[in-house]
Each structure stands twice: as structure tokens, then as C-alpha cells.
A and B are shown apart, each in its own frame.
Chain A
Amino acid sequence: MSRENLELARQVMDALSQRDLPRLISLADPEVEWRSFFAIGQTGGVYRGHDGTRQYMADLRDAWELVEAEVTDDLVVGSVVLLVGRIHYRGKASGVETDTSVGWLLRFRNGKAVSFRAFRDPEQARDAVGLRE
């Protein structure tokens, strides 16, 4: 199960980078909660359910020309997947490209993502699951 969840997490990250809404919805539980790296839109970066997933993609599309996630490390503990890597993004208004480290925490249930949370500092993601070294 752990290996399956890691593969699912990587698929979620890829779907986010590709802005592939149908694939993202297929990977997500109807009660999924997204807590984005970006405070965008009216929800401040928190989105719930499939409608929230659609809004998340729309808000990303409106604000950013490019958002790409690169995963460099991972750890799976049962239903929880911790990913560490970098995020590369370019704002539509600013045109500035930015690259920064980030951590992601994903939780799965019955093969679907039920929660996704991005952290500015990978250590925060480790802290969230009690894994600080």
C-alpha cells in the first residue's frame, strides 16, 4: 500500500504541474482538501472537494504562467506521503521566474488523495508528521 501511495503522490504532483484537471479529479477523493503553496483566489489557497479542485486549477491558471514541481526525496508512512523538492513558478503579471525549496504532505484513502498541503520549508512538512531529525 505504501508503494502504491507513493506512486499516487507522484501522479498528483505531475497532474498539478501539467494542470491536468480531469486526471487530478480522478486521483482525488470527493472530500479532498488542497492547501496550496500559493495564497490565491478568494479562498486564500484552501480548496475542498472536486469543485474546489476545479477552482484551484482555475486560480493557478489565472495567476501563473508556469508552475512546475520537482520532487527530490520522498518518505511514505502508511497513508501519508512526504515529498521534498523544489517549485519553479512564473507570475503572469510580474514575469519573474522564481525557484524555491518546498515540502508537500499528501494523505490517501482507498487510493484517492484526501489531503494535500504544501510547506514553504521542507522542515515544516517533516515537523507536521513528527519526523524532524
Chain B
Amino acid sequence: MSGENLELHRRANQAFNSRDVEAYLAFCDPNIELNSAVTGPGPAVYYGHAGVRRWHRDLTDAFGDDVRLQPEAFFDLGEHTVTFHVLHGRGLQSGADVETPAAHVCRWRGGLIVYFKGYVQREDALRDLGVSEAALQPIAP
């Protein structure tokens, strides 16, 4: 099951990068709880599929249509999967390219994400899961 979740996480990231929100929703539980770290002054926590659609809109508003994740490493903790990645986008107000190291934690149930949390400090993601990077085997993207 844990390997399956990691593969699902890869595919969810691909759906994210395609900016196809409906494809991304295929990986989301209807009651998903999505804790975003980098969107603007809107809500901090998005709930359900309607919330995920709103999150995608808010991300596009903040970082442009070309916002994407460049994975650097995955970690497989069974029920949870973690990705370290770089978020690429363009500040709509500044027009400047944005490259932000970040992490996502997903909790899976029945092949769907029930909990998602984004982090701008990667070590915080592992700390919340009670593990250290040294104790984990990073998996290439």
C-alpha cells in the first residue's frame, strides 16, 4: 500500500503541474483538508473539492498560470507521503520569477488524499511527522 501511495503522490503532482484541477481532484477525498502555506491573504485551510478548486484559483492568482512543482525527493512513510520540491511561479504583482523550496505532506486513505499540508520550511514537514531526514531514505522523483 505504501508504494501505491507514493506512486499516487507522483501522479497527483503531475496533475497539479498540468493545471488540470479536475485531474487533481481525482486524487482527493471529497472531504479533503488542504492546509496551504503559500497562497495569498485568502483562507489558509481549504476543505473538500470546492476548496481544492478555490486553492488552485488562489495559487494562480498569486503565482500565475505557469505555477508548477519541481520534485526533488519523495519520502514514503506508509499512510503519509512527503515531497520536497521547488515551487516555480511568477509573482503577479512583481512580475518576478519565484522559486521557493517547499514540502508537501499527504495523508492517504483508500487511494485518496484526506489531508494535505504545505510547508515553506521542509524540516517542519518531517518534524510534524515525528521523523528526521537522516532516518529516511529519499526516493528520487
Contact = CB atoms under 8 A, between A and B. Distances in A.
Interface of A: 36-42, 44-45, 63, 89, 91-94, 96, 98, 100, 102, 118-120, 124, 128
Listed from nearest, the 9 A-B pairs whose CB atoms lie closest are A120-B44, A93-B31, A94-B115, A39-B43, A91-B33, A40-B47, A39-B46, A39-B51, A94-B114
A40 B48 CA distance: 7
B31 to A, nearest CB: 4
7 contacts: A36-B43, A37-B44, A39-B45, A39-B55, A63-B33, A89-B45, A119-B41
A102 B54 CA distance: 20
B63 to A, nearest CB: 16
A77 to B, nearest CB: 19
Interface of B: 29, 31-33, 35, 41-48, 50-51, 54-55, 107, 114-115, 117
A36 B42 CA distance: 9
A97 B102 CA distance: 21
Given A38-B43, A94-B32, A120-B41, 20 more contacts: A37-B44, A37-B45, A39-B42, A39-B43, A39-B47, A39-B51, A40-B48, A41-B50, A44-B51, A89-B45, A91-B114, A93-B29, A98-B35, A98-B45, A102-B44, A118-B43, A120-B43, A120-B44, A124-B41, A128-B41
Contacts of B51: 39-40, 44
A36 B44 CA distance: 9
Nearest to A127: B41
